[in-house]
Amino acid sequence: MGSNMAENHPVGFQYVVEARLRGAKIMHVDPRFTRTSAMSNLHVPIRPGTDIAFLGGVINYILENERYFKDYVVRYTNAPVIINEDFADTEDTGGLFSGWDPERGYDISTWSYAGMEVSAAAGQREQGGATGEQAHYAHGGALEHGQPPERDETLEHPRCVFQLLKKHYRRYTPEMIEKICGCKKEQFLEVAEALCENSGRERTSAVVYSVGWTQHTHGVQNIRAASIIKLLLGNIGRPGGGILALRGHASIQGSTDIPTLYNILPGYIPMPNAHAHSNLDLFVERNASPTGYWGNMKAYTVSLLKAYWGEAATQENDFCFDYLPRLTGDHSINPAIMGMVDGRVKGFFVMGENPAVGSANGRLQRLALANLEWLVVRDMTEIETAAFWYDSPEIETGELKPEDIATEVFFLPAASHVEKKGCFTNTQRLLQ
């Protein structure tokens, strides 16, 4: 779903074809009939943007027909955990979950595990509320003294995660999927049954997606819905299972894992804030969770600092925590581009990106580049971002003239990933 793998990832798709020839069933759920569809056993056309409804139907099918892998669900997911009694689902509050504030967004305190306080690692950091990047280490909160949350391993408690999930997704009937997605009910049922049939204790199925899922307004929710399916079927963390995100570069996922993103450090440790994190202990206090993996935030951070600065990082100097750069606000690409337009951002480094044609609103991107004092582009070929000042739609129309563009462009050669040492994350999230 969300991928035309045969055309956009042909080397990887070779193995899908080989699997099909050995008896694997390949199903393509996509609004268009593409080469991937032609090479699949089944193509299910759906209306654009209805992926979440289709996935919700699969979740409901698994739950209503008791096709979930119960031993896995009880032991390796939070399905048995009891949720705060103040939590309310959408049908109880007129279409919104509990905690909605029109001015501030969701207050997620009612979503936490019963008896727990919401910790910083639940997404309530100084930079804002619960967001996509923070979901990598999201928690339901923490009890005092680090006790585990209350559980019901029979999965019968009305407020356990499993029962709340079942209640929420019961609306996604096959008839509703047919109405929303536009596919035939029989096609949907064929997909749902095939996934269930090929999952459980002995078998696993995989879900493959690309930016056809990611680049939606609610792209994160597409992937989360797929994650629920794979966890219910016992397909996460087992050979042949999982959710594979296909990307066009050797280490796009590595940008998050290793990472090159502005707001996180390797291992999903948050980047320190200039105003909130004056020392290591304060940083840990405001970002750690009393329970779970993120209760080890200090150990993770110290390990990273010692990897950076070796013997120079000692307890006496706060493990060189002061050497880390600090966030002073939102430094993501859209505010940066607007900063160029406004004249606040004077220079720009472009590595592994091509914003002149690859980012939203290409015209705005090119006008922003024309407002810089200097631009450094490092790539293997002269991409459009390097050539915008003499070869772009705005030059053709006369909106921009090369002689009027003051941006000094430095175009530097780059080595590809096969020419240098380093780390990258492959589609299965293996770090190499």
How does pLDDT run across 5-56, given as a tens digit for each residue? 999 999 889 999 999 999 999 999 999 999 999 999 999 999 999 999 999 9
Query: Closest by alpha carbon to 29, among 179, 176, 183?
Result: 183
Strand 264-265 with 243-245, pairing: unpaired
Euclidean distance between CA atoms 336 and 333, whole angstroms: 5
Contact criterion met (CB below 8 Å) for 140 and 113: yes
353 in the same domain as 413: yes
In the predicted model, what is the mean pLDDT of residues 195-205?
Answer: 94
399 in the same domain as 291: no
In the predicted model, what is the mean pLDDT of residues 185-192?
Answer: 98
**The domain boundary residue, chosen from 245, 280, 309:** 245
In terms of pLDDT, which residue wins out, 420 or 287?
A: 287
402 in the same domain as 381: yes
The structure's pTM equals 0.78
Q: Which two tokens stand for residue 145?
A: 């003294």
In the predicted model, what is the mean pLDDT of residues 293-297?
Answer: 88
Query: Closest by alpha carbon to 340, among 315, 365, 310, 323?
Result: 365
412 in the same domain as 337: yes
pLDDT attached to residue 207: 95
Confidence of residue 132 (pLDDT cuts 50, 70, 90): very low
3-state secondary structure of 397: helix
In the predicted model, what is the mean pLDDT of residues 327-336?
Answer: 90
Helices 280-287 + 297-309 axis angle, to 10: 140
398 within a domain of the structure (yes/no): yes
175 in the same domain as 56: yes
239 in the same domain as 271: no
Within 10 angstroms of residue 3's Cβ, the number of other Cβ atoms is 24
26 within a domain of the structure (yes/no): yes
Q: What's the number of domains the chain is made of? A: 3
Q: Is the pLDDT of residue 72 over 60?
A: yes
In terms of pLDDT, which residue wins out, 419 or 182?
A: 182
Run of H or E residues at 142? none
- Least trusted range by pLDDT, from 250-259, 375-384, 406-415: 250-259
Q: Quick one: what percent of the chain has pLDDT higher than 70?
A: 92
Cα angle at 80 between 78 and 86, to 5 degrees? 90
347 in the same domain as 241: no
105 within a domain of the structure (yes/no): no
Confidence of residue 130 (pLDDT cuts 50, 70, 90): very low
**The domain boundary residue, chosen from 323, 342, 366:** 323
In the predicted model, what is the mean pLDDT of residues 175-179?
Answer: 98
- For residue 278, give every residue at least 6 positions away whose Cβ sits within 8 Å of its Cβ, in sequence order, or none: none
Q: Is the pLDDT of residue 206 over 70?
A: yes
118 within a domain of the structure (yes/no): no
Cα angle at 271 between 269 and 275, to 5 degrees? 135
pLDDT attached to residue 146: 57
Query: How far, rounded to the nearest angstrom, does the alpha carbon of residue 71 sit from its chain's CA centroid?
Result: 27
pLDDT attached to residue 250: 67
pLDDT attached to residue 429: 73
361 within a domain of the structure (yes/no): yes
Beta strands in 18-103 (DSSP E): 27-29, 42-44, 100-101
179 in the same domain as 66: yes
286-290: list long-range contacts, CB under 8 Å, 24+ apart. 286/120, 286/125, 286/126, 287/120, 287/121, 287/125, 288/119, 288/120, 288/121, 289/119, 289/120, 289/121, 289/122, 289/137, 289/139, 289/142, 290/119, 290/142, 290/143, 290/144, 290/145, 290/146
Q: Is the pLDDT of residue 285 over 80?
A: yes
pLDDT attached to residue 253: 74
**The domain boundary residue, chosen from 323, 343, 361:** 323
In the predicted model, what is the mean pLDDT of residues 135-151?
Answer: 56
238 in the same domain as 180: yes
Confidence of residue 117 (pLDDT cuts 50, 70, 90): low
Query: How far, rounded to the nearest angstrom, does the alpha carbon of residue 151 sit from its chain's CA centroid?
Result: 28
Run of H or E residues at 209? strand 207-209
- What residues are paired with 347 via a beta bridge? 374
241 in the same domain as 278: no
Q: Quick one: what percent of the chain has pLDDT higher than 90?
A: 70
Provide the domain limits for residue 364: 333-417
109 within a domain of the structure (yes/no): no
411 in the same domain as 352: yes
360 within a domain of the structure (yes/no): yes
In the predicted model, what is the mean pLDDT of residues 367-374?
Answer: 98
Amino acid present at 4: N
154 within a domain of the structure (yes/no): no
Rg of the Cα atoms in the chain:
24
60 in the same domain as 37: yes
